[in-house]
């Protein structure tokens, strides 16, 4: 299904039948919309296209009826969720999540098991950062040149996905490793922010429980432990650089409580952060 969905997406792009939309307007009349989960906002760029059925989106508080020839572009920090129109949820949605290293494609469905779904593919794309930056450009909605650049980058990413699907299928283990690597890179880029498991779950296309289990299986540590390790590693580098006060460093690496940071630093490195530079100097 993923292969045919991406082919349809490329066809729509080439025939200029696809619209990129960022704003939702409440229609005058429509069937009842039921969200599948609580609306949330994320730090990354997402795109959604209807593959089949009665699926839709809620952008802010506005239900959006999807079609197979219209792509909804969901900018970072936009409140949204997926759902369905009518009485029974029967749909497939193609999601494209743009990250720093590429694009994550996956199919969502109301009765599907995201843990073992084979309808997913991560494609490394060298211009993924440009794709992200172009979509977040304030002039995106009004500047045709900005839209054209985004259109070009996104089409190239989709072509890369289609070519990847023509090759020998990736093993389930390879797919899992790529997801874990994506999570690690996301943490390394957003360590200063309040990262939630729910956000990472949506980003990866897995349930929170499965994602936590998967990450621990491949790294022998929890996602929270990896986040703390990343923050402490960067804090140590800042302390060695001797350009900031300890309290300031705590905030710079994502800790809201300097006392908790100092306690954790001492537990990890054996010394309080305020003493570390002096001890290092005396050991020379």
| 24 and 142 part of one domain | yes
Last residue of a domain, which of 140, 168, 196? 168
Q: What is the pLDDT of residues 100-123, one digit of tens each?
A: 778 888 888 887 555 555 677 888
Closest by CA position to 69, among listed 19, 23, 107: 19
Mean pLDDT of 11-18: 73
CA angle 165, 210, 127 (to 5 degrees): 40
Domain assignment present for residue 220? The answer is no
Last residue of a domain, which of 147, 168, 189? 168
* Residue that wins the pLDDT comparison between 14 and 234: 234
Mean predicted lDDT score pLDDT of the chain: 83
CATH number (domain holding residue 244): 1.10.10.60
Given this model, what pLDDT does residue 25 score?
Answer: 56
Give the pLDDT band of residue 231 (cuts 50, 70, 90).
very high
Q: How far is CA 162 from the centre of its chain?
A: 21
Residue span of the structural domain in which 101 resides: 2-168
| 19 and 156 part of one domain | yes
| 114 and 6 part of one domain | yes
Mean pLDDT of 84-97: 91
Give the pLDDT band of residue 21 (cuts 50, 70, 90).
low
Q: How many structural domains is the chain composed of?
A: 2
Last residue of a domain, which of 142, 168, 194? 168
Mean pLDDT of 226-232: 95
Q: Where would I find the H helices in 36-143?
A: 128-135
| 96 and 9 part of one domain | yes
Are the CB atoms for 249 and 236 separated by under 8 Å? no
The C-alpha atoms of residue 127 and residue 160 are separated, in whole angstroms, by 12
Domain assignment present for residue 175? The answer is no
Given this model, what pLDDT does residue 52 score?
Answer: 93
Q: How far is CA 102 from the centre of its chain?
A: 11
| 121 and 247 part of one domain | no
Domain assignment present for residue 212? The answer is no
The 10 Å Cβ neighbour count of residue 129 is 14
Domain assignment present for residue 195? The answer is no
Are the CB atoms for 280 and 240 separated by under 8 Å? yes
The C-alpha atoms of residue 38 and residue 77 are separated, in whole angstroms, by 15
Confidence (pTM): 0.72
Domain assignment present for residue 25? The answer is yes
Domain assignment present for residue 177? The answer is no
Q: What is the pLDDT of residues 33-87, one digit of tens each?
A: 999 888 888 878 888 999 999 999 998 888 988 888 888 888 878 889 999 999 8
| 139 and 277 part of one domain | no
| 147 and 243 part of one domain | no
| 119 and 7 part of one domain | yes
Q: What is the pLDDT of residues 273-283, one digit of tens each?
A: 887 666 555 55
Domain assignment present for residue 148? The answer is yes
Percent of the chain residues topping a pLDDT of 90: 26
Matching residue, tokens 């990129």: 20
Give the pLDDT band of residue 185 (cuts 50, 70, 90).
confident
| 156 and 240 part of one domain | no
Domain assignment present for residue 221? The answer is no
């Amino acid at each position: 299904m993923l292969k045919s969905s991406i082919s349809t997406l490329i066809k729509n792009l080439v025939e200029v039948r696809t619209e990129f939309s960022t704003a939702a307007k409440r229609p005058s009349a429509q069937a009842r919309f039921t969200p599948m989960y609580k609306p949330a906002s994320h730090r990354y760029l997402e795109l959604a296209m209807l593959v089949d059925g009665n699926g839709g989106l809620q952008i802010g508080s506005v239900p959006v009826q999807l079609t197979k020839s219209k792509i909804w572009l969901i900018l970072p920090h936009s409140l949204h969720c997926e759902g369905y129109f009518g009485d029974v949820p029967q749909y497939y949605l193609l999601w494209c999540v743009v990250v720093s290293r590429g694009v994550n494609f996956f199919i969502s469905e109301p009765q599907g098991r995201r843990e073992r779904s084979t309808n997913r593919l991560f494609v490394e794309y060298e211009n993924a950062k440009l794709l992200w930056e172009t979509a977040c450009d304030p002039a995106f909605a009004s500047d045709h040149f900005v839209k054209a650049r985004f259109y070009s980058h996104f089409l190239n990413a989709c072509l890369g996905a289609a070519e990847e699907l023509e090759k020998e299928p990736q093993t389930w283990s390879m797919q899992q490793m790529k997801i874990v690597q994506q999570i690690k890179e996301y943490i390394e880029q957003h360590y200063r922010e309040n990262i939630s498991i729910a956000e990472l779950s949506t980003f990866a296309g897995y349930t929170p429980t499965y994602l936590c289990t998967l990450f621990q299986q491949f790294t022998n540590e929890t996602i929270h432990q990896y986040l703390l390790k990343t923050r402490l590693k960067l804090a140590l580098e800042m302390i060695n650089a001797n350009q900031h006060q300890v309290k300031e460093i705590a905030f710079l690496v994502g800790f809201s409580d300097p006392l908790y940071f100092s306690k954790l630093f001492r537990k990890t490195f054996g010394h309080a952060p305020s003493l570390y530079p002096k001890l290092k100097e005396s050991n020379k």
